[in-house]
Structure 1
Amino acid sequence: MSFLVTKGKENMLIEFLQSVYNPKASLPSESKVYEQVIKDIEYFSISPQVYFKLKEQGRLELTPLFFQNRLKNTFIKVLLRNTFLKKQTETILNTFDKLSIPAIPLKGVLFAEKYFGHLAARSTSDIDLLIKPEDLDKVIKTLKEIGYTIEEKNAPDHFHCSLSKEVSNSPIPLTVEIHWNILKENTSNFKIEGFWEQAIPLENFKHIKELSAYHTFYMICIHAWRHNLDSMKHFLDITEIIYFLGEEIDYDSLFIDAAKHKMVKRMKRTLSIVYRAFPQLNTIQKLPFNNQVGPWWQYEAIRNSNLRNVKVYLDYFDYLIFSFDTANHRLIAFKEWIHPSKYDLAQELETNEKISYANLYKKRFFGLFKSLLFLK
């Protein structure tokens, strides 16, 4: 089977990843395919996932040597980085535990070890922790005492904040992102308390826990939705958990809970798009619905952030407005888009633009105009 013939260039990575996650499928034979997919793999920072999966299957040697070397070099760098992050995470968790501060690590190195099978099988850049809202001041004070003294500017209406510290021999500070929720509360009925109630004690800690497998999957899906599946990393996170848990994932319970939380459409959108990219997931755990959603999501748009076409805008508005279960939540989301907070306004505009609502609306209008002008 020729990847170059059966798929357009823009779909080559997805087809390649489908073959990686199916040991019975043939890997491509054309060197040109590997020259293209390695660029995409590195763009999305998924080299460690691909390297470890192929190595685990004994199929790495079936790929060209230059491809193997690029994957391996990145894997080694991630191993060094994640080893450092693991030690830093353990220091924080031990400190919290001694001070009787409850916390739950999110994603990160522990997630890589458990669900991907190796410390370096998934890259991560910071430390994410879930804490209880009433402990926020104590957590910030504690982190500052152990060196995380740089306060990041965060949106006042969001559900997380960040502290960082300088790292020797590195131009990039180490950041701890503190979460007291996993999404904004004004567009759902979600309550984080359920995550805490079913969390499992972590190793020998008294006050540190880990999310249950069920809530890990729930959280990863919501995290992917929040980013509108803008990276193949989200796809592999969800795919890896499904492969790891198999039939343990209870989709009936998932959608019962999503209905209570008014998040059914978010779950359907996320899983529909992932299952379309990786249809073999149906052989592991079939989706409990037939009406596929998110039809305008396109790989080209996440590979090229400058791409502007009608499908980009259709997908964005589908995500922005129609991801919500209730008219009230849709209205809130639309109002926040029309008149974002000053923080979100600054995030959406380029840094060299004057931060104003007039410039925001001008940017949006001309972006849409250009997409219609060059409509094919």
Structure 2
Amino acid sequence: MVVNLIQALYDPLRPLPQPNDRAFYEQALVEIHSFEIASQVYYLLKQRGQLEQTPLFFQRSLEQKFTEVLYQNMFIKNQTVQIMEKFDESEIQMIPLKGVLFAETYFGHIGARWTSDIDLLIKPSDLERAILAVKSLGYTIEEECVASHFHWSFSKRIPGSLIPLTVELHWDLLKANTSQFNVNELWDQAARLEPYRFIQQLSEFHTFYMICLHGWRHNMSSLKYFIDIIQLIYYLKDRVAYMRLFEIAAAHKTYKRISRTLSIVYREFPQLEKIVSLPIEQKSNLWWDYNAIRDSNSRSFKHYLNCLVFHLMDFDAWKHGLVGVIEWMLPSKAAIGYELGRHDKGNLLLLDYLRLYKKRVLNLIRTIRINKTL
């Protein structure tokens, strides 16, 4: 349902649902809060002068969440600036990824996109110094680093918050041995971020590439990944440079990931063709299902086909697909926690695997039962 609202936000020819359609806006709010996109929807409505065309209860709910996000992002920006100053002082090269800088640059407001942590790209040779730098700022809660992954997380307790603030130090954007992605290209085309000497900002091209890969890595499991990509397309327009993107993706062995991700976005939001045409044949068997991400009880066999494609077939080389399958069958402790929906790390790994497999089997059985009753 909220897809219709987002389509209207990006298409001036599509009217918003009538404000007296309370059932629509109530259900839209449920989905908006579930996908954590209240700040994006609020800011887009406000920016387009359409907020008053929605019911008052809808406006107030969005405004309350936007205010919460604004204050949180202001705090995270303050912490980000401290880290950038520390890295610059220590002569450590770094590129901020996503976060408040992305919100300010591409959405136009610090509160226009919810941010929960701080993602930084560093060079592998600077990893040890970067760890010392973030620890000196209080980020001393260290998560287990998985050798095949491309980031290391450090957190610190925040007064008044039950959830610690996390800094993720990335030295790549994809797991090892799943592509031929060359992260050095990002560094070569990044520009210096004023007023710093060693802090850089991703080029527009690589920002779009990164956001597409980020959405794929999360299997487009939330509308927030769609909004990120859509917002960039509207912001960049013809600067998206699709032909260059697909040429580089083919060289990096990420072509299937990028093409399928964009095909899903364009299928759900066909008005994007009026902004920048997607120069590839869009397949009909994408398997991605909106109902499955909106409601886990609505998952069909299409959802499991989507998971199969994601873990096995979204790779340009068979050896990369094999690594993807192994990662799915034997995920890291952090990945298990993400899939199980919890953050504690104290359990035995074997018990975590048993809980994970139990959840997957029960979800499959539930799907079989639901489809039998249809």
Same fold (TM over 0.5): yes
Contact 2:291 2:299 (8 Å CA) reproduced: no
Identical amino acids, percent of aligned pairs: 49
Letter of the structure 1 residue corresponding to residue 257 of structure 2: R
Q: 2:255 aligns with which of 264, 269, 289?
A: 264
**Residue aligning to 2:322:** 331
1:152-163 matches, cutoff 5 A: 152-163=143-154
Letter of the structure 2 residue corresponding to residue 258 of structure 1: A
State whether structure 2 residue 192 is matched by structure 1 residue 201: yes
Task: Give how far 1:367 is off.
Answer: 3.4
State whether structure 2 residue 2 is matched by structure 1 residue 13: yes
Task: Give how far 1:365 is off.
Answer: 4.0
**Residue aligning to 2:294:** 303
Contact 1:310 1:371 (8 Å CA) reproduced: yes
Contact 2:148 2:176 (8 Å CA) reproduced: no
Contact 1:159 1:182 (8 Å CA) reproduced: yes
Cα distance in 2, alignment partners of residues 293 and 190 from structure 1: 27
**Residue aligning to 2:14:** 25
Q: 1:364 and 1:120, CA in 2 relative to 1: closer, same or farther beyond 3 A?
A: closer
Q: 1:151 aligns with which of 142, 150, 162?
A: 142
Q: 1:336 and 1:172, CA in 2 relative to 1: closer, same or farther beyond 3 A?
A: closer
Q: 1:111 and 1:347, CA in 2 relative to 1: closer, same or farther beyond 3 A?
A: closer
State whether structure 2 residue 138 is matched by structure 1 residue 131: no
1:1-376 matches, cutoff 5 A: 12-29=1-18, 30-292=21-283, 295-341=286-332, 344=335, 348=339, 355=351, 360-361=356-357, 363-375=359-371, 376=374
Tell me the matched-pair count: 365
- Structure 2: gaps spanning 5 or more residues: none
Cα distance in 2, alignment partners of residues 350 and 216 from structure 1: 28
Q: 1:42 and 1:243, CA in 2 relative to 1: closer, same or farther beyond 3 A?
A: same
Task: Give how far 1:346 is off.
Answer: 6.1
Q: 1:325 and 1:34, CA in 2 relative to 1: closer, same or farther beyond 3 A?
A: same
Higher mean C-alpha deviation, range 251-260 or range 356-365: 356-365
Report Cα offsets for 1:77-133 as digits up to 9, x if no partner: 111111111111001001100110000000000000000010100010111100001
Cα distance in 2, alignment partners of residues 35 and 361 from structure 1: 35
- Structure 1: gaps spanning 5 or more residues: 1-11
Query: CA-atom RMSD, angstroms?
Result: 2.0
Contact 1:324 1:330 (8 Å CA) reproduced: yes
Letter of the structure 2 residue corresponding to residue 371 of structure 1: T
Q: 1:28 and 1:188, CA in 2 relative to 1: closer, same or farther beyond 3 A?
A: same
Report Cα offsets for 1:303-352 as digits up to 9, x if no partner: 22354421111111011111011122222222333444566556556879
Cα distance in 2, alignment partners of residues 164 and 176 from structure 1: 6
